[in-house]
Amino acid sequence: MNARKSIATARRIVVKAGSSSLTTPQGRIDADRIDALVDVLAARRATGTEIIFVSSGAIAAGLGPLGLTRRPPDLATQQAAASVGQGLLVARYTSSFARYGVGVAQVLLTADDMIRRVHHRNAQRCMAQLLNLGVLPIVNENDAVATDEIRFGDNDRLAALVAHLTRADALILLSDVDALYTGDPRQPGARRIDEVRTSADLGGIQLGGSGRVGTGGMVTKVEAARIAGIPVVLTNAASAAAAIAGEPVGTYFHPDTRHRSTRHLWLAHATTGQGRIVLDPGAVEAIVQRRKSLLPAGVTGVEGDFAAGDPVDLCGTDGRVVARGLVNYDAGEIPDLMGRSTRWLARELGPEYEREIIHRDDLVVLTTDEEARA
């Protein structure tokens, strides 16, 4: 079967557009290009397909109104620009979709919302209800509260996780480049890639820097395609109609069918460990082979200054990272617990110390070096 058919027949699609496709180089909303994209989304929606739109561009759209000529380097000004730009963007989408009688909703998410169980469930419920109500969700990162430590920064991986969250059938990534190339297409000699079947097809490809207003470049798009677990097409906004119709434009990424939950994908691919916990060989075996929770008895050391709830790396005594998880204790509490049984801890310190250092539901095993670096 023609792989692209899965896009043409998808019942729920996440479409992500990058800053460069939505804003002008002067840091303003590009109303014509937004209308053109909305035309495409509304047309597909009219056939009964549910669309979730992940829109970047808040920071870029806030530059002009704030008198800035380029993307600010500091987080506070980026947050301020995003806060200005996000309102303008959504106002524009609201009136553009209104031409088709389509109501829209703004959904702002942080990386934290993807991994914290309660937030994740709430986001999932909200999105499902918006779709039930026939409203088109427009998603962006909640830039005003995202910190440098735990932040998407780009929207490519956010879009992949939103695709999981909404159980979408396909993901379309729209950028300023019409496909993935063997190297930055601004450099001579770069060749276009039609299809990516496995990560082996990416060998030797240069996934260099991003454009002027975007952030992730191709690295985060390839990463998004890898974690989406569904068919992904990467192309430019001008080819959006063709891509969404399943025509052979851009680069088609075949799905990686390894199933993992959204939170686990996020933990594995997009968080950075805020510290390290060193495990004895028995604990490494329990976590990697038997997928158990991490108990204090198996911990031999702790490095870094993390707080309960932070992602931390778990490593063996050889220093190799074997897993990442959301820790239940602050770094300063762990030395007193190390090597102790949970029963001893409950008796000596109180019942609240009977809990795991990391619960198995909050753990992801990093089986390859590549994943450990993600």
Ligand X SMILES: Nc1ncnc2c1ncn2[C@@H]1O[C@H](COP(=O)(O)OP(=O)(O)O)[C@@H](O)[C@H]1O
For every residue of 91-128, DSSP letters joined together read: HHHHHHHHTTT--EEEEEE-HHHHHSHHHHHHHHHHHH
Residue 339, marked binder: no
Which of these, 18, 361, 36, lies nearest to 158 by C-alpha position?
A: 18
Residue 216 touches ligand VHF, criterion: CB under 6 A: yes
Q: Establish if 251 lies at the interface with ligand X (CB under 6 A).
A: no
Q: Is the CB of 178 or the CB of 313 nearer to ligand VHF?
A: 178
Which residue's Cβ has the minimum distance to ligand X? 18
**Residue 251 CB, nearest distance to ligand X (Å)?**
9
Q: How many CB atoms lie within 10 A of CB 177?
A: 25
Look at residues 93, 83, 86 and name the one whose alpha carbon lies nearest to residue 137.
Answer: 93
Query: Could you tell me the smallest distance in angstroms from the CB atom of residue 57 to ligand VHF?
Result: 5
Question: What is the footprint of ligand X within residues 14-33 (CB under 6 A)?
Answer: 18-21
Q: In 261-362, which ranges are continuous DSSP H helix?
A: 262-269, 281-288, 342-349
Q: Is 310 helix (H, G, I), strand (E, B) or coil?
A: coil
59 binds ligand VHF (CB under 6 A): yes
Binding region for ligand X (CB under 6 A) out of 71-79, 123-131, 181-189, 298-306: 181-189
Q: For residue 19, state whether it binds ligand VHF (rule: CB under 6 A).
A: yes
| Phi-psi region at 106: left, alpha or beta (left = phi > 0; alpha = psi -120 to 50) | beta
d(CA 309, CA 270): 16
- Is 282 one of the annotated binding-site residues? no
Instruction: State which of positions 115-154 bind ligand VHF (CB under 6 A).
Output: 140-141, 143, 154
Q: Which is nearer to ligand X, 36 or 205 (CB)?
A: 205
Binding to ligand VHF by residue 82, rule CB under 6 A? yes
CA dist list (Å): 52 to 104, 137, 205, 322: 10, 5, 30, 35
DSSP for 170-204, written as a single string = EEEEEESSSSEESS-TTSTT--EE-EE-SGGGGTT
Q: Which stretch binds ligand VHF (CB under 6 A): 52-60, 245-253, 265-273, 355-363?
A: 52-60
Is 155 annotated as ligand-binding? yes
Q: Is 338 annotated as a binding residue?
A: no
Annotated binding site: 16, 56, 143, 155, 175-176, 215-221
Q: Which parts of this chain interact with ligand VHF (CB under 6 A)?
A: 18-19, 56-60, 82, 140-141, 143, 154-156, 214-216
Q: Which parts of this chain interact with ligand X (CB under 6 A)?
A: 18-21, 175-177, 180-181, 183-186, 205-208, 210-211, 214-218
